[in-house]
Each structure stands twice: as structure tokens, then as C-alpha cells.
Amino acid sequence: MFAVTVSFTLHAGAAESFRPLIEANARASVETEEGCRRFDVCTDPSRPDKVFLYELYDDEAAFQAHMTTAHFLAFDGAIGEMVADKTVLTFAKVTP
């Protein structure tokens, strides 16, 4: 299993436009990518400019494939002006 976390800090007022885009990307990832097992989009209503993603893939290759899909590329191309900061961390499973 290969886990990916992504933390976004959005520019003020961008959350309303960002949310449907990330929800569509998450849904397409789980529904159409064979190696994507989970894609959670998390927010806190008290901090609308913060978005946290938790993604699980079969392996790193499945994650790399995710980043070449049409839905990811469309999402990534659409959010540039909305994002103030983005941090991506990856984790490989250590314990059984």
C-alpha cells in the first residue's frame, strides 16, 4: 500500500470554486483508476482555506499513473490561481 497526503492552503475566497474540482477529481480517481483504493477530501468549516487529502494506492506506480490521468491534469491545471501553498507527502506501508 502507498499513502499520499496533500495539504492545500487556498487563497481567501477560493474554497467555493476549489471544492467541486477536488471532489470531481477524487470521485474519478476512485471510480476509474484500478490502483486507487481511497481518496478522501477533508476540510474544517472553521478553516475553509485549508484542504487535506488522504489517498491510498496499490503502490507508487499507481500513484504515478494517477498523475497522468486526464481528470488529474484537468484539476491541476484549473487550480493554479486558487492555491497559496501545497505540500505533498508520501508513505510506504511498513507493517503488515
Q: What is the pLDDT of residues 17-45, one digit of tens each?
A: 999 999 999 999 999 999 999 999 999 99
Task: Read off the pTM.
Answer: 0.93
The whole-angstrom separation of Cα 7 and Cα 53 is 6
Q: CA-CA distance, 27 to 52, in Å (whole number)?
A: 15
Average pLDDT over residues 51-60: 97
Tell me which CATH code domain 2-92 carries.
3.30.70.100
The type of residue at 89 is L
Please, which residues bridge with residue 37 across strands?
none
CB atoms within 10 A of CB 25: 23
